[in-house]
């Protein structure tokens, strides 16, 4: 194991998140119940076809009870976009990803991310609502919330592994999550079509391999 590999493993250990979590307050529990109710209705009926009264009824609250926590329906949607983002589960898992080299770590982190986000198909549906009904205007909320937490991972990865072809941490981070999002979108589009039967039995592995090595064979 060379110096770069030792530095990479040391960084992973030093950046493991603490696993302590305070119990939610009654207000936080109510707020999350409102978000859950609203998310279900947004996915079922669309954002604009869902009223505040319907959200209140679905959450088991009086209409006035919602306004103790949110000023508007759009504020609820903004909270859902941030609070339900899969990164809260994905980042700790990425930091625990196995691998003594950059390639092994990125492969493990990518497969973990794909597996985790696949458990949350509703969030993908909410992102479609964000893109179609809001034209992506809340995307900056996600970036501002996620970037400070995720960018340091890629900054230290770039510093630890000098042989990476990408030296810009922001480009590496964007391409990594582009991999995850594009896989999930195309997976939804493929559905149960015959095209899916043409894919290998482990399409995630093949997708990650393209991310790591591209589609062009290196010249001998």
pLDDT in tens, 112-144: 888 888 888 788 888 888 888 888 787 777 788
pTM reported for the whole predicted model: 0.71
Residue 150 has pLDDT above 70, yes or no: yes
Alpha-carbon distance values, 91 to 14, 50, 60 (Å): 14, 32, 33
Region 149-166 average pLDDT: 85
Q: Which segments of the chain does DSSP mark as H helices, in order?
A: 3-14, 26-45, 52-59, 63-66, 73-83, 87-95, 102-118, 121-133, 139-160, 169-190, 194-197, 203-213
Rounded-to-integer distance, Cα 17 and Cα 93, Å = 10
Rounded-to-integer distance, Cα 190 and Cα 196, Å = 6
Task: Provide CATH 1.10.10.60 ranges for the chain.
Answer: 26-83
pLDDT in tens, 197-213: 999 988 989 999 999 98
The position carrying tokens 């909270």 is 79
Answer yes or no: are the C-beta atoms of 124 and 117 closer than 8 Å: yes
Angle between helices 102-118 and 169-190 (to 10 degrees): 40
Distance between alpha carbon 6 and the CA centroid of its chain, in Å?
28
What CATH number was assigned to the domain covering residues 26-83?
A: 1.10.10.60
Give the lowest-confidence range in 15-29, 60-74, 193-207: 15-29
Instruction: Give 14's pLDDT tier (boundaries 50, 70, 90).
Output: very low
């Amino acid at each position: 194991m060379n110096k770069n590999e030792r530095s990479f493993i040391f960084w992973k250990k030093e950046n493991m998140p603490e696993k302590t979590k305070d119990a939610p307050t009654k207000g936080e529990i109510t707020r999350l119940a409102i978000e859950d109710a609203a998310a279900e209705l947004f996915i079922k009926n669309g954002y604009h076809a869902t009223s505040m009264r319907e959200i209140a009824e679905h959450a088991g609250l009086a209409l006035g009870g919602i306004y103790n926590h949110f000023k508007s329906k759009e504020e609820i949607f903004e909270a859902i976009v941030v609070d339900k983002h899969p990164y809260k589960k994905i980042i700790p898992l990425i930091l625990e990803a196995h691998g003594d080299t950059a390639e092994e770590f990125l492969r493990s982190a990518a497969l973990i991310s794909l597996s985790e986000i696949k458990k949350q198909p509703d969030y993908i549906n909410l992102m479609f609502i964000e893109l179609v009904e809001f034209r992506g205007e809340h995307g900056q909320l996600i970036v501002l919330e996620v970037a400070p937490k995720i960018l340091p991972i890629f900054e230290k990865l770039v510093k630890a592994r000098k042989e990476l072809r990408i030296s810009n941490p922001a480009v590496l981070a964007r391409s990594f999550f582009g991999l995850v999002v594009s896989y999930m979108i195309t997976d939804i589009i493929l559905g149960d079509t015959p095209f899916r039967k043409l894919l290998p039995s482990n399409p995630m592995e093949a997708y990650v391999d393209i991310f790591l090595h591209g589609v062009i064979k290196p010249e001998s």
